[in-house]
Structure 1
Amino acid sequence: MKTYKLESLIYYSKLSLDKEHILKDSTSDIQAKLDEYAQKGYRLVSTDATDFGFAVYFYLYFEKDVPGA
């Protein structure tokens, strides 16, 4: 049996000459979430991203085997 977790991260666009500011801001946060879930025995199985207005939503889907289930 498996257990699943969803992690959602939201980043807002800002006035900037740097068109990659969301990428730069999100990279360290997403890596931290990957490390956090890996420490708990989860593995990343899927990702998704969408934009709405001035925000970008990142979805990280994790799964972990439940021993003895």
Structure 2
Amino acid sequence: AAYVLWPRWKRYAANRPRRPIRWESDINRQRAFQAEVDRILDKVHSHGIASLTRKEKNTLRQASKHQHRGT
């Protein structure tokens, strides 16, 4: 019975959209977070710490926690 379905399965497997591997999505998330932190630090350099929004300050706190944990 499996032999009858093999050609159809082979076509499906070759053409199906592939999901990204979990570690790839983790790396992409980390890169996006790092890019956001870099943008915020550039803003601090240009305009000072007082120019940051609450969300930006929270992002920097979160980055600091990650740095202290070594992740």
Superposition TM-score, scaled by structure 2 size: 0.35
Higher strand proportion (structure 1 or 2) = 1
Superposition TM-score, scaled by structure 1 size: 0.35
Which structure carries more relative contact order (alpha carbon 8 Å, separation 6+)?
1
